[in-house]
């Protein structure tokens, strides 16, 4: 039986200057431009950044595929926006069984060092736990990608496993770090935590 769509609570979620929402076809050209501008920044960590660049029309087709998959109960792929600009992308992925979701993400080179991804992942973690069946959320990244690892660390995720795997890019060490937070742990955050947290990256 297909899973229910992974629904954000509303059409979009925002925290400070950061908005997370599903991509729409009209985002295609801006998404292509964001990936092109960030290609060298992403290439060490994202295998797809070394591939052939999509045209806007091809990217529009990909967005339609993502949203069709989401409606069928698959992964949910979102854009990250700051003041209307594409600041990156993220997703909730059904890779952990019926009670868990994995968060993946990439950031536009112009938006590093501003807490954008930390805020986006806060929003996605909140969204994940609106689903009653979800009891845990994980973030996986290569051990060499220290910037990516800073996000779960700042948000209170726990490093639960290190898995040796084949490197996907030349920069990777081939050791995947897996971070996890449970519903109970996320609910125990102190009041005002999101506004007082140091999210400098």
Residue 85 is predicted with a pLDDT of: 95
Q: What domain range includes position 115?
A: 12-190
Partner residues linked to 81 by β-bridges: 19, 86
Residue 5 is predicted with a pLDDT of: 60
Contacts of 100 (CB under 8 A, 6+ apart): 134, 135, 136, 137, 138
Task: Give the chain's domain count.
Answer: 1
Mark the ranges of the chain whose per-residue pLDDT is less than 70: 1-10, 52, 191-201
pTM of the model: 0.90
Is residue 132, in this structure, part of any structural domain at all? yes
Is residue 198, in this structure, part of any structural domain at all? no
Is residue 121, in this structure, part of any structural domain at all? yes
Residue 190 is predicted with a pLDDT of: 76
Residue 35 is predicted with a pLDDT of: 93
Contact criterion met (CB below 8 Å) for 177 and 162: yes
Residue 200 is predicted with a pLDDT of: 47
With pLDDT > 70 as the criterion, what percentage of the chain qualifies?
88
Is residue 1, in this structure, part of any structural domain at all? no
Question: How does DSSP classify residue 24?
Answer: -
Any idea what the Cα angle at residue 182 is, between residues 176 and 184, rounded to 5°?
Answer: 160
Is residue 195, in this structure, part of any structural domain at all? no
Is residue 197, in this structure, part of any structural domain at all? no
Question: Where residue 70 sits, what CATH number does that domain have?
Answer: 3.40.630.30
Residue 50 is predicted with a pLDDT of: 72
Residue 195 is predicted with a pLDDT of: 53
Is residue 23, in this structure, part of any structural domain at all? yes
Partner residues linked to 6 by β-bridges: none
Contacts of 109 (CB under 8 A, 6+ apart): 37, 38, 40, 41, 42
Contact criterion met (CB below 8 Å) for 178 and 140: yes
Q: Among positive and negative, which fits the CA dihedral 71, 58, 108, 181?
A: positive
Residue 81 is predicted with a pLDDT of: 97
């Amino acid at each position: 039986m297909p899973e229910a769509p992974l629904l954000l609570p509303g059409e979009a979620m925002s925290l400070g200057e950061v908005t997370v929402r599903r991509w729409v076809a009209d985002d295609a050209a801006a998404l292509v431009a964001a990936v092109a501008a960030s290609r060298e920044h992403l290439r060490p960590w994202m295998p797809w950044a070394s591939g052939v660049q999509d045209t806007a029309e091809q990217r529009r087709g990909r967005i339609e595929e993502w949203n069709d998959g989401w409606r069928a109960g698959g992964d949910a792929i979102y854009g990250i926006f700051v003041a209307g600009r594409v600041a990156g992308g993220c997703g909730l992925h059904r890779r952990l069984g019926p009670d868990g979701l994995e968060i993946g993400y990439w950031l536009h080179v112009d938006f590093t060092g501003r807490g954008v991804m930390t805020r986006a992942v806060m929003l996605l973690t909140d969204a994940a736990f609106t689903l009653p069946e979800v009891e845990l959320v994980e973030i996986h990244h290569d051990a060499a990608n220290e910037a990516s690892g800073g996000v779960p660390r700042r948000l209170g995720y726990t490093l639960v496993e290190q898995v040796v795997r084949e490197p996907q890019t030349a920069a990777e060490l081939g050791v995947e770090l897996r971070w996890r937070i449970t519903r109970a742990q996320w609910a125990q955050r102190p009041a005002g935590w999101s506004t007082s947290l140091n999210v400098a990256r």
